[in-house]
Amino acid sequence: MTTVEDLPAAGKQPKSAKAKILDVVRWVAILLVIGFAAKQLASNWGEFWHTLRDVAWQSSLLSLVALVAAIMVSTWGWQVMVDDLGKPIGYARGAQICLVGSLGKYVPGSVWAYLLQMELGRKAGLARARIFTGSLIQLGVGVVSALVVSLLAAPAVFSNSPRAMWLFVLIPVGLAMLHPKILTWGTSLVLRILRRPPLAHPLGWKVVGKVFGASTAAWCLQGIHLWLLANSVGTPGFSGFVLCVGAMAVAMTVGTFAFILPSGVGVREVAQVAVLTASGLTVGQATAFAVASRVMFTVADLLTAGMAAVAARSSRRPAVTPA
């Protein structure tokens, strides 16, 4: 899906008034989503520190590291998908678009994340359609991966919420949809409905496998993050580790579809609490860890987005040739 927008300009042209206005709008949008993220961070900060008081600092630090690793791995899967649709953009450039843009999920209505990613991609010289398509495919593959991983928490989920059965009924359908031919057809159909050009070439097993693997690794790392917090009270153990991995997959999947709420707020915590209580924690402990997890997610999102922005800016600086 390489378009004229993906091609580098022959020379640097002075910005038009429209381009300058768009630059201002992008910066306002970025500051707005950072403000929403900071607001959510501040509203839960007191309870967050109250919870971490009983958690060893080593567990808290490792838990945050696991989250950062999960975000970086997931971003790599996104970049692989976008690279398959046109000229490779590289991890630093892709991370800036993906991670800074994903902060839009903190604004009510998760569609803002995709809109901001498209605008940042356009600023970097990439077609909006290419960014949107890459995000769309990664979302679909990630949801199927999460459904598969969530089987680890199936007993706990069913005992607390029998209605969640529909999530697992979708697994065979989701796996079938990952066949490259079906995924290519489905993606092109969605693009046609949105009056966008279809995929320029069919997807292959290699790229689908990489995106699926990256998503699965990200869910596992998020489960490690939750387990490190919960295991600090000495309850979950190894069986709890398996449940935590499944719990994060369930929670993040449910949160993804709660698109009206900022980053699935509230919905994600319900799923986490349901599984953590089944692993032996009290409702109070499980709720506290769910809130702590959400705050740590926000911190990790802001950290990775900031690092990606700095890295991308540094990579664009011309090298200084010694005299």
| Domain residue limits, the chain | 23-39+53-311
Q: How confident is the model at residue 70 (pLDDT cuts 50, 70, 90)?
A: very high
Of the chain, the percentage scoring pLDDT greater than 70 comes to 65
Looking at residue 106, its pLDDT comes to 73
Average pLDDT score over residue span 42-50: 56
Looking at residue 207, its pLDDT comes to 95
pLDDT digits (tens, 9 = 90+) for 98-115: 988 888 777 766 677 788
Which of the two residues, 73 and 314, has the higher pLDDT score?
Answer: 73
3-state secondary structure 93-113: HHHHHHHHHHHHHHCCCCHHH
pTM of the model: 0.77
Looking at residue 226, its pLDDT comes to 86
Looking at residue 218, its pLDDT comes to 94
Residues near 82 by Cβ (< 8 Å), separated by ≥ 6?
Answer: 89, 94, 126, 130, 131, 134
Q: How confident is the model at residue 151 (pLDDT cuts 50, 70, 90)?
A: confident
How far is the CA of 304 from the CAs of 35, 71, 73, 101, 134, in angstroms?
16, 8, 11, 12, 20
Given a cut of 60, whether residue 19 has pLDDT beyond it is no
Asked if 147 contacts 170 with a C-beta cutoff of 8 angstroms, the reply is yes
Residue with the two structure tokens 């057809």:
185
DSSP class of 321: P
Helix (H) or strand (E) holding 303: helix 283-316
pLDDT digits (tens, 9 = 90+) for 211-262: 999 999 999 999 898 888 877 666 556 777 888 888 788 777 776 665 544 5
Q: How confident is the model at residue 23 (pLDDT cuts 50, 70, 90)?
A: low
Burial class (CB in 10 A: 0-12, 13-18, 19+), 122: middle
Q: How confident is the model at residue 316 (pLDDT cuts 50, 70, 90)?
A: low
Average pLDDT score over residue span 149-176: 72
Given a cut of 70, whether residue 30 has pLDDT beyond it is no
